[in-house]
Amino acid sequence: MLVFKRVSYILIFIYLLIVVAKLFYVLHDSNRTTSMKTILKNSQDENQRIIIFGSSHCHNGLSAEEIQKELGIRTFNFCFQRWDVYEKNFLMLTESLNANDYLIYVKRIPFNKNDLKRPYKSIFLNSIFPNLYGEFSSVFLIDNFYSKKTNSNKYGDMIKFKNGNVNLPVKIKFDEASLIKYIKKQVNDVTKENYLPNLIFTHAPYGSNSKIEINYKNLSIDSKNNKFWFVPGINLNNKKYFMDNNHVNSLGRKVWTNYLIIQLKNIIK
């Protein structure tokens, strides 16, 4: 019984330590925000820029370097490992956009029907009961985009990939109407309060052995102040493209980036 109590106290202490560290990390990320702002300011004179914004899915999943080489347009990967930490930087980013800039906004689409109906429930539960290993990794082991010991190149692309458990492809059961509704909400939430001269909304690749056919023609946005393009994500139905169930590896990044480059060539003329 005494051992059980001690173990319980240790677990509670670790839990509280991680929660406090997470809060400290969120409240003290001004260095990254300042660096991002500086980069945008220093490139303000560029006639045209491509800026990729999102979370870990595009940090390791897209190559700004390859996009810049192919299109000849200055490209930055401003995708970070923690969406909840860097989402507040989005407003600052939009205020730094030029009229000719293109913003590639990347999200992960929860295809499964149940996930579509309760995304906010997951966020709430994660805030109350955080994944201890995930929080520890993000607070203490997370790649610092602008640090000296960075795992990103000068474009913001990930350099070294970690290997995890991959259980793909999987069967996906989805409801097309709910999926379109979810995507429209994501897009409208972004454009409602922000002026985005050229917005390209896309979602991360997924690995499924299910046949998915979606009519994206019904997708539109409420704002008339933004030029908008939607680029559907691709189905990489082989685990060789993934480093875990949600993130592609270097091979998957090459495929996804090449696919996006083809789409961008049709959009940016």
Look at residue 121 in the predicted model and tell me its pLDDT. 43
How far apart CA 138 and CA 54 sit, in angstroms, is 16
Look at residue 25 in the predicted model and tell me its pLDDT. 52
How far apart CA 24 and CA 26 sit, in angstroms, is 5
Look at residue 220 in the predicted model and tell me its pLDDT. 67
Within 10 Å of residue 239's Cβ, how many Cβ atoms?
A: 17
Look at residue 32 in the predicted model and tell me its pLDDT. 54
Look at residue 78 in the predicted model and tell me its pLDDT. 87
Look at residue 218 in the predicted model and tell me its pLDDT. 67
Q: Which of 188, 191, 196 is nearest to 97 (CA)?
A: 196
Q: What is the pTM of this model?
A: 0.79
How far apart CA 96 and CA 220 sit, in angstroms, is 25
Look at residue 87 in the predicted model and tell me its pLDDT. 63
Count Cβ atoms within 10 A of the Cβ of residue 229 and give its class: 0-12 exposed, 13-18 middle, 19 or more buried: middle
Question: Which alpha helices (DSSP H) does 159-227 contain, by range?
Answer: 176-191
Look at residue 113 in the predicted model and tell me its pLDDT. 55
On whether the 31-122+150-267 domain is CATH 3.30.1490, my answer is no
Average pLDDT across each block of 10 residues of the chain; the chain has 269 residues. List them in order. 71 67 52 71 88 89 97 91 64 85 90 54 46 49 46 86 83 80 83 82 89 74 74 91 92 97 94
Q: Which of 217, 206, 224 is nearest to 107 (CA)?
A: 206
